């Protein structure tokens, strides 16, 4: 099994912590909320053993990477520039980029804006949907119905932090489990995707009696220790830029991503289920698509819940480039 090496580099003017393994063509992995490089622990080994240089970053605001103070420092164009800086700092000219959750649109926009550098793209959980005519906050208001869609809930600085940070361990466990394929179907009106006005997401989360098989006590302890140290504001600030991103990327309205691509989602995963129309439109939006897979019974944490299947799909994809 390949050795994991931790590095801290300067990229795009900030500090980026990453973990890498193996040698060969670069595969850059970008995590989502609320995770870290650690969410790629299974893929680092698999890709390295298959002959690739696998690197998983702590996205700005997470882990040992810099956490700029301004909310607008977490806009999409900043994340794309970070990824470009990482490739350069690693002495590479190009990379295959892989993203999960928020890492998926970060990876997608990296390939959209710089296909000369990010020459292949794999998206986990969140399908690619080009910038549209509707402002994101307006779309999320419709999705929330009589309640607040969770991205709406995350908009107000300090609000979500106030419910999470007094008990990071309990909140993370509830969030991870409730979004996984192991969670029971929510009762009517009890989905974690929406929150009653003035309420808390915590009240919609399910705390399991025992950990699911894909999440060990050591795994949970790692995440808890990271977020007890850093707080959640850096990660939440990504959500607080959705309208700013829409304005920044106006020139790319409706644009497809043409590099070779792969999509892997979970049958029980919210973003994959909500993205049915986007998946159906892949022939137009991802004309270089090499495969689209929805894993039966899998929830949101695709590469952690189903590491063997995801590893096989990723390795097959990169070897076919």
Q: Could you read off the pLDDT tens digit of each residue along the chain, which spans 321 residues?
A: 779 999 999 999 999 999 999 999 999 999 999 999 999 999 999 999 999 999 999 999 999 999 999 999 999 999 999 999 999 999 999 999 999 999 999 999 999 999 999 999 999 999 999 999 999 999 999 999 999 999 999 999 999 999 999 999 999 999 999 999 999 877 555 688 999 998 999 999 999 999 999 999 999 999 999 999 999 999 999 999 999 999 999 999 999 999 999 999 999 999 999 999 999 999 999 999 999 999 999 999 999 999 999 999 999 999 999
293 burial class (0-12, 13-18, 19+ CB within 10 angstroms)? middle
Q: With residue 196 as reference, give the H or E element that holds it.
A: none
What pTM value is reported for the model?
A: 0.97
| Cis? peptide before 34, omega within 30° of 0 | yes
Of the candidates 86, 97, 108, which has an alpha carbon nearest to the alpha carbon of residue 13?
86
Q: Residue 58: CB partners within 8 Å, gap ≥ 6?
A: 16, 17, 18, 31, 36, 37, 64, 65
DSSP string computed for 135-157: -HHHHHHHHHTTSEEHHHHT-ST
Q: How far apart are CA 11 and CA 129, in angstroms?
A: 27
Q: How far apart are CA 297 and CA 243, in angstroms?
A: 33
Q: Taking the chain, what is the end-to-end CA distance rounded to the nearest angstrom?
A: 24
Give the pLDDT confidence score for residue 190 in this predicted structure.
Answer: 63
**Where are the domains positioned within the chain?**
5-319
Give the pLDDT confidence score for residue 108 in this predicted structure.
Answer: 98
CB 34 within 8 A of CB 100: no
Q: Residue 33: CB partners within 8 Å, gap ≥ 6?
A: 101, 102, 235, 236, 238, 239
Q: Which of 17, 31, 100, 300 is catalytic?
A: 300
**Residues constituting the chain:** 321
Q: Which of 82, 101, 182, 245 is catalytic?
A: 101
CB 15 within 8 A of CB 66: yes
Encoding tokens for residue 181?
């394929």
Long-range contacts of 238-241 (CB under 8 A, 24+ apart): 238/33, 238/59, 238/61, 238/74, 238/79, 238/102, 239/33, 239/151, 239/154, 239/155, 240/71, 240/74, 240/154, 240/155, 240/157, 241/71, 241/72, 241/74, 241/75, 241/76
The architecture (CATH level 2) of 5-319 comes to: 3-Layer(aba) Sandwich (3.40)
Question: Which sign, positive or negative, has the C-alpha torsion 68, 74, 77, 79?
Answer: positive
101 is catalytic: yes
Q: How far apart are CA 78 and CA 144, in angstroms?
A: 28
Give the pLDDT confidence score for residue 187 in this predicted structure.
Answer: 58
300 is catalytic: yes
């Amino acid at each position: 099994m390949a050795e994991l090496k931790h590095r801290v580099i300067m990229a795009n003017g900030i500090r980026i912590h990453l973990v890498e393994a193996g040698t060969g063509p670069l595969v850059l992995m970008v995590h989502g909320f609320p995770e870290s490089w650690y969410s790629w622990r299974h893929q680092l080994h698999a890709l390295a053993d298959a002959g690739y240089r696998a690197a998983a970053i702590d996205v700005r605001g997470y882990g040992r990477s810099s956490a700029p103070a301004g909310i607008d420092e977490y806009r999409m164009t900043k994340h794309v520039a970070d990824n470009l800086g990482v490739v350069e700092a690693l002495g590479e000219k190009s990379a295959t980029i892989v993203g999960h959750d928020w890492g998926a649109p970060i990876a997608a926009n990296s390939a959209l804006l710089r296909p000369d550098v990010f020459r292949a793209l794999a998206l986990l959980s969140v399908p690619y949907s080009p910038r549209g005519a509707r402002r994101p906050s307006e779309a999320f208001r419709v999705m929330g119905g009589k309640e607040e869609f969770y991205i709406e809930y995350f908009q107000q600085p300090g609000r979500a932090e106030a419910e999470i940070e007094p008990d990071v361990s309990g909140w993370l466990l509830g969030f991870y489990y409730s979004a996984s394929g192991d969670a029971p179907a929510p009762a009517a009106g009890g989905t974690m995707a929406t929150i009653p006005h003035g309420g808390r997401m915590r009240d919609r989360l399910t705390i399991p009696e025992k950990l699911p098989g894909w999440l060990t006590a050591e795994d949970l302890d790692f995440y808890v220790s990271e977020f007890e140290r850093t707080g959640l504001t850096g990660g939440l600030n990504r959500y607080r830029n959705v309208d700013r991103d829409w304005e920044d990327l106006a020139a790319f309205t409706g644009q497809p991503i043409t590099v070779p691509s792969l999509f892997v989602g979970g049958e029980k995963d919210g973003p994959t289920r909500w993205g049915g129309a986007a998946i159906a439109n892949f022939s137009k939006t991802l004309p270089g698509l090499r495969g689209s897979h929805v894993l039966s019974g899998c929830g949101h944490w695709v590469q952690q819940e189903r590491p063997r299947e995801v590893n096989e799909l990723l390795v097959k994809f990169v070897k076919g480039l």
